[in-house]
Amino acid sequence: MAQSGLARNEHLSGWLFVMPALVLLGLFMIYPILWSLWMSFQVGRGMAFSFGGFTNIMRLTQDPVFLRALTNTLTFLAIQVPIMLVLALLFANALNDSKLWGRGLFRTAIFLPCVTSLVAYSVVFRSMFAQDGVINQFLMFAHIIASPIPWMADPFWSKVVIISAITWRWTGYNMIFYLAAMQNIDRSIYEAAKIDGVPAWARFWYITVPMLKPVILFTTVISTIGTLQLFDEPNLIPSTPGAPSDSTLTLSLYIYNLSFKFMPSFGYAATVSYVIVVMVGILTLIQFLAARERRT
Amino acid sequence: MSGLKLRNVKKSFGAVDVIKGVDLDIEDKQFVVFVGPSGCGKSTLLRMIAGLEQISSGDLFIGDKRMNEVDPAHRGIAMVFQSYALYPHMTVRENMGFALKFAGRPKEEIAKRVDEAARILELGKLLDRRPGQLSGGQRQRVAIGRAIVRHPDVFLFDEPLSNLDAELRVHMRIEIARLHKELNTTIIYVTHDQVEAMTLADKIVVLRDGIIEQAGSPLELYDDPDNLFVAGFIGSPKMNLLTGTAEAGGIRLADFPEHLVPSPVAVPAGTAVTVGIRPEHFDPTGSAALDTSVEIIEHLGGETYAYARGAGSNLLTIATDNNRTLKTGDRYQARFNPASLLVFGKDGKRLR
């Protein structure tokens, strides 16, 4: 069927409106994504590179630093995301109670970290977790430890610091999503449950959590993506990025090092980037499958 | 045995008094309806009985036990909410069985009670559906089923039919009346719809501004209202209320100054009064009359209502004994029996 002049006109103005955004997206998003895919098959140093086929992928399997970064990133992911999301859910549930005194203040306080200056908070964390920092002083004062913990010198404790830092920074952000979703739940559902004698823990577990499922899925996906791209904290909090001895080195940090700190190996860096892309894809798919409604 | 007693029950939110002292006796197995305009405190009063709102002062007894501080789950009540308040992620069966699971009932008993409720409410085919797949009327039945399975002593209904369309509302009203007969328990029901109140209740409690204006059987309230508010609130179409002044030998109505209407009660001359007459109390054989001109005619088939006025601007609603020949602009002599008039004093109290 032939389009009328009016419909064509509307189509044209529609395209005109989205064109600036499309051009910018194409130039700064889609083109680099495709270019880096092509780059990931190139070998060579600096600007002198040539097509290497699967050489870079083979190199991944034999690169101990990459494997280290991969293990670290997955460790951060597996420990930090569940802790943060459970905390966010508990905070949201507590701060959703209309009888709680000062809940506006608490909400702000918990949300504030994610809008705080990154560098400022990293400096504060570095000083707090220094050998003679307030954390050690407090723990010794409270007789929880006998001698200072070498927070940033020990491979285990340095991971703990990084995990604490990102949890501190992003818990409030996720909490806001949960709070918003909780406020959409009809209050009378809880009242009905109360009259029905459903205890508080069961109201949370059997009513709140299932009703928040779409939001929990959403926060899980964005937190997974965020943690897989973790860069800022391991770059800023340790004395040197990734220290001690690469125990806080993440994939993003390694990509940065490969591109800008070592002799530039753009092709290999692009390959490592695509490792993150593939992991995000697989994990997100798994999460969607796990959260899918079971049809009876 | 689960009657309820409310003794000087009050509720304030901060400085605002919502319930200003309610005394009420509800007998076992009685169907009691709280009715009143929005903001009158009827829902608050129900929620206080349910335990969802604290009682600021006074006493609440269910059976013989004082329940002011008892947890809602242990008051022997079940409640049906206006929004249905179903658990959206559970099937109908799970919705109805959920409470019993936490009461520690064995699986077989839960299944038996759910099936029984499903039979009473004809929900058998819907047991494996989720609330999202049900119509409004079906959801309301599930909400009622969730209350039934708990075998409560007292059912509380908070405007349960307000979210349904008119036709379904009539149907569910009959269902609820049938249910009351079948379950044979105490029901407290809140509505703003006086027709629901009239048709369902054994006892109507009319509330306004946190106090009981009058409590009694539907016909008591209809025939013998204590005050202007109840007279105007109960009955559809509404009672005609006309202002006037008592004189020796009768009442002179402001809208009909040419007549002296005989008063059914003795009123001192000079007293300002309001006279009430129900539309159906106009009777072509009555001994008194008002001369009116007809402005609007409503043909309902079985009855014809005329909206007519005298000298003033107030329209009288008149049931014309199905006078189908009446036309707009006609003069109409609205006859009535003076004994059917209700007279109210300046303070709104009935003069008897």
Give domain status of residue A10, yes or no.
Answer: no
Give domain status of residue A39, yes or no.
Answer: no
CB contact under 8 A, B98 and A191: no
Residue A65's pLDDT is what? 87
* Number of A–B residue contacts, CB under 8 Å: 59
CB contact under 8 A, B78 and A196: yes
Domain range annotation of chain B: 4-233, 240-351
CA closest to A201 among chain B residues: B102
CB contact under 8 A, A195 and B79: yes
Segment A163-167 shows an average pLDDT of: 91
- Chain B partners within 8 Å of A212 (Cβ): none
Residue A295's pLDDT is what? 46
CB contact under 8 A, B79 and A192: yes
Q: Which domain CATH number covers A236?
A: 1.10.3720.10
Task: Reply yes or no on whether the pLDDT at A84 is more than 70.
Answer: yes
Give domain status of residue A207, yes or no.
Answer: yes
Q: What is the pLDDT of residues B292-343, one digit of tens each?
A: 999 999 999 989 999 999 888 889 999 988 888 988 999 999 999 999 999 9
Q: How far is residue A268's CA from residue A44's CA, in Å, rounded to a whole number? A: 9
Considering the entire predicted model, what is its pTM?
Answer: 0.80
Give domain status of residue A6, yes or no.
Answer: no
Residue A293's pLDDT is what? 64
CB contact under 8 A, A199 and B102: yes
B86 touches chain A (CB under 8 A): yes
Can you read off the two tokens belonging to residue B98?
């959920």
Tell which residue, A158, A190, A181, has the closest CA to residue A88: A181
Q: What's the pLDDT band for A296 if we cut at 50, 70, 90?
A: very low
Give domain status of residue A83, yes or no.
Answer: yes
ipTM above 0.90, yes or no: no
Q: Which CATH class is domain B4-233?
A: alpha beta
Q: Which parts of B192-330 are beta strand (E)?
A: 203-208, 211-216, 240-247, 250-253, 256-261, 272-277, 288-299, 304-309, 315-319
Q: How far is residue A118's CA from residue A110's CA, in Å, rounded to a whole number? A: 16
Q: What is the pLDDT of residues B261-285, one digit of tens each?
A: 998 898 888 899 999 999 999 998 8
Q: Report the percent of chain A where pLDDT is more than 70.
A: 98
Nearest by CB to residue B52, choosing from A191, A197, A202, is A191
Q: How far is residue B277's CA from residue B294's CA, in Å, rounded to a whole number? A: 17
Q: What is the pLDDT of residues B160-186, one digit of tens each?
A: 988 888 888 898 899 899 989 988 899
Give domain status of residue A16, yes or no.
Answer: no
Can you read off the two tokens belonging to residue B237?
């179409």
Can you read off the two tokens belonging to residue A32?
């680099």
CB contact under 8 A, A197 and B77: no
- Chain A partners within 8 Å of B163 (Cβ): none
Nearest by CB to residue A197, choosing from B50, B79, B99, is B99
Segment A154-159 shows an average pLDDT of: 86
Nearest by CB to residue A196, choosing from B73, B83, B88, is B73
Q: Which helix (H) or strand (E) holds A187?
A: helix A187-195
Task: Reply yes or no on whether the pLDDT at A49 is more than 80.
Answer: no
Q: What is the pLDDT of residues B51-78, one digit of tens each?
A: 999 999 999 999 889 999 999 999 999 9
Residues of chain A with a CB closer than 8 angstroms to some CB in chain B: 186, 188-189, 191-199, 202, 206-207, 210-211, 213, 296
- Chain B partners within 8 Å of A206 (Cβ): 87, 98
Positive or negative, the Cα torsion across B27, B29, B33, B39?
Answer: positive
What is the tally of structural domains in chain A? Answer: 1
Domain that holds residue A99: 59-117+169-291
